[in-house]
Structure 1
């Protein structure tokens, strides 16, 4: 009734394999809520809600997404809402974005219609941050 198949037949059948771990991006779906910090060495696409800081190589944020925390990325393309500071070498803020926090950037693009409530600070790569007064505000210094 049950017969054994020859060994050569068993070896020729497709074998399910685990996914390769060399993934180049991660996706957080629109139905996902994460409470905690995220650190990724690869690109990150966020459509869900994050309550914590994000640090990654590249961030793409979907329109319906919400991030409540600081964002640090080499490049960031924001389309949803962010409540927290943003630091990126190359930053693109799309018209659907709603940002509440300070923005630090090397290169910046803002589409007409985007809302940003906070301060903008251009970062100069390799330059030391300006001195700050005791109250934490930047000091005005004159070049000599």
Structure 2
């Protein structure tokens, strides 16, 4: 689904299910279900949305379920999000309550170490912090 010059915002409604890859030159708002990769400038994912595939965007604000890798310069993972996959980012914000099961790696460091991408980051999961730490999420790293 590509956007023309007349539109700068595309919406995939909650009643829509797409099987296939999506490429959009505009901002994309997804409330429906997508089985395929998404490539766009800016992605906003609704709470009830499900994406089974990779996401590549300049900026992404995720609130639903994603099963696949995510690559974004600016990534916001909201508390309602459930992410199953590796996360690559330049700037990352994770709200308390978000669930992420995958590896985190800053975009700049993925290939900068000279390892050719062969080194793997430890598996990480984000779980809510204890009650006294309302403004923070707890990052658990399993080796």
TM-score, with length taken from structure 2: 0.76
Question: What does residue 33 of structure 1 align with?
Answer: 17
1:59 Cα deviation after fit: 0.1
Tell whether 2:39 aligns with 1:89: no
Q: Which residue of 2 aligns with 1:9?
A: none
Match of 1:137 in 2: 119
CA-to-aligned-CA distance 1:92-136 (integer Å, 9 cap, x gap):
0000000000000000000000000000001228x7464147xx4
| Shift in Å, 1:26 | 0.3
* 1:78 and 2:62 aligned: yes
Q: Which has the higher strand share?
A: 2
Whole-Å separation in 1 of the counterparts to 2:114 and 2:66: 26
Which contiguous aligned blocks of 4+ residues in structure 1 show a shift greater than 2 angstroms?
127-130, 136-139
- The 1-side partners of 2:113 and 2:11 are apart by 34
Aligned twin of 2:53: 69
Change over 3 Å in CA distance of 1:124–1:32 after alignment to 2: same
RMSD over aligned Cα atoms:
2.0
Q: State the partner residue of 1:13.
A: none
- Matched residue count: 117
The alignment status of 1:22 with 2:1, answered yes or no, reads no
Larger radius of gyration: 1
Find the residue that maps to 1:30 and give its secondary structure: coil
TM-score with structure 1 setting the length: 0.76
8 Å contact from structure 1 (residues 29, 46) kept in 2: yes
2:25 is paired with a residue of what secondary structure? Answer: coil
Partner of 1:106: 90
Q: 1:130 to 1:104 in 2, by over 3 A?
A: farther
Structure 2 residue runs without a partner (length 5+): 122-143
Deviation, structure 1 residue 137: 3.1
